[in-house]
Amino acid sequence: MRAEIIVIGDELLIGQVVDTNSNWICSQLNEIGVQVKHISTISDDKMEIIHALNLATSRAEVVLMTGGLGPTKDDLTKQALSEYFDSELVFDEEVLTHVKGIFAKYDRPMLPENIKQAEVLKVAEVLFNKVGTAPGMWIKQGNSHVAIMPGVPYEMKYLMEHEVIPRIKSLPGRKELIHSYILTVGIGESFLASRIAHIEDRLPSYIKLAYLPAPVQVRLRLSGEGSNHELLKKELDGFTQEIKDEIKEHCINNNQKSLEETILEEMSALNLSLALAESCTGGYVSHLLTEIPGSSRVFLGSIVSYDNSVKIDSVGVNEQTIRDFGAVSEQTAIEMAEGVKKNLGSDYSIAITGIAGPEGGTVEKPVGTVWVAIAGIKGTYSLKYLFQNSRSGTILRASKNALYQLIKLVREENK
């Protein structure tokens, strides 16, 4: 079943407000097997609204429209809807009573503009909005069903959950849509595609594989569509396992969790702790970890040893090591990892030192040179990277690669 979203609002088109509604609606429709094919953002203009509806109803079974239902003169959606559906606007007594009750509750005067909130199309089925003043509407137009909702996020979500989704679920012709996810790290998209090509070639027409790349990682999404949920899930699980077995050294998880979440979950289950010594990343790894609730069960702390004096005095790097090999070196990275592990009393530690740029590089150590060291239970391991990125790109890639090396070591040492 195909769906289309129409978002109305001049404030969205000038960048004053970010459209978060579409993202949330897509996630909810995906859960019930409805595929969003188009998202249109249009202005509060009557002809634009009519044109968008003409297009949407010609190519989607479900059309969801948000915004433009306010009481002010710049909200023209109801006028456009009245013309498009060739239906007059009428007052809904139940909605009017509800709106009056809201104003009475807060002892506020009710203006004529507020009374107009109770206007709905005569041909529409009213979607009663218990959390706001603007009602939604559900209208059948040819082969399409159109849901009209306010743009205020909490009002839209209420109507989606309580009114719109139950109606969509009852529509005939809706098939099951199931997804399976695999997060891979440390392998590029093209190399990954080459590794699993023999599996991808065997996928039936009703199972699709999508590559969702991001810096350092690629998330795979297998999507299956059919009428038999159990058989479809069994087949999807089989292909997922095949891919995991083929790329096991790069497979982080087969859910929608991040690399950081997976690390924290696995280390927490093993009752392991982690400490960091960050130089060129400036605390970014710590930020990634502490964004996740419950990270304190694993993460003890970090020393951002940006200056050499901090590496020496707070982390425990030997001054002679920096003098002989430099701050950006394998030797310094190893001493940083072992020093912070000892000082904070952790089971594992990460150390990162490098040249993020845009200045500071040399012929021997160009901008983008990064050393990562991981100190574990059985020893300390180091890797050198050379990133061809901007400063922010180097920081991001160094952080993600360090976390990837950490999870590999934790899994290897705790089999």
- Higher local confidence (pLDDT), 70 or 157: 157
Residue 386 and residue 266 share a domain:
yes
CB 120 within 8 A of CB 142: no
Lowest mean pLDDT among 35-49, 109-123, 337-351, 400-414: 109-123
The CATH number of the domain holding residue 276 is: 3.90.950.20
Residue 277 and residue 225 share a domain:
no
Query: pLDDT at position 104, please?
Result: 76
Residue 235 and residue 94 share a domain:
no
Query: pLDDT at position 177, please?
Result: 85
Residue 295 and residue 246 share a domain:
no
Chain center to CA of 316: 39
Looking at the structure of the chain, the number of domains it has is 3
Q: Which tens digits make up the pLDDT trace of 332-348?
A: 999 999 999 999 999 99
CA angle centred on 315, ends 310 and 317, rounded to 5°: 90
The CATH number of the domain holding residue 163 is: 3.40.980.10
Given a cut of 80, is residue 214 above it in pLDDT? yes
Burial label for 249, CB within 10 Å (0-12, 13-18, 19+), is exposed
What are φ and ψ of residue 216, in 5° steps?
A: 75, -20
Given a cut of 60, is residue 57 above it in pLDDT? yes
Q: Which of 169, 197, 222 is the last residue of a domain?
A: 169
What are φ and ψ of residue 159, in 5° steps?
A: -65, -40
Helix (H) or strand (E) holding 354: strand 348-354
Residue bearing tokens 């070591």? 409
Residue 266 and residue 240 share a domain:
no
The CATH number of the domain holding residue 241 is: 3.30.70.2860
- Higher local confidence (pLDDT), 166 or 1: 166
Tell me the CA distances in angstroms from 15 to 4, 150, 153, 301, one per residue in order: 22, 19, 17, 38
CB 134 within 8 A of CB 66: no
Q: Which tens digits make up the pLDDT trace of 66-94?
A: 998 766 555 578 889 999 999 998 888 88
Q: Which of 118, 152, 169 is the last residue of a domain?
A: 169
Residue 270 and residue 163 share a domain:
no
Burial label for 162, CB within 10 Å (0-12, 13-18, 19+), is middle
Q: Which of 120, 136, 169 is the last residue of a domain?
A: 169
Q: How many CA atoms lie within 13 A of 358 on its CB side?
A: 1
What is the span of the domain harbouring residue 111?
Answer: 2-169
Query: pLDDT at position 312, please?
Result: 97
CA–CA gap between residue 207 and residue 5 (Å, rounded): 25
Residue 151 and residue 12 share a domain:
yes
DSSP-derived secondary structure letter, 286: H
CA–CA gap between residue 246 and residue 326 (Å, rounded): 40
Given a cut of 90, is residue 241 above it in pLDDT? yes
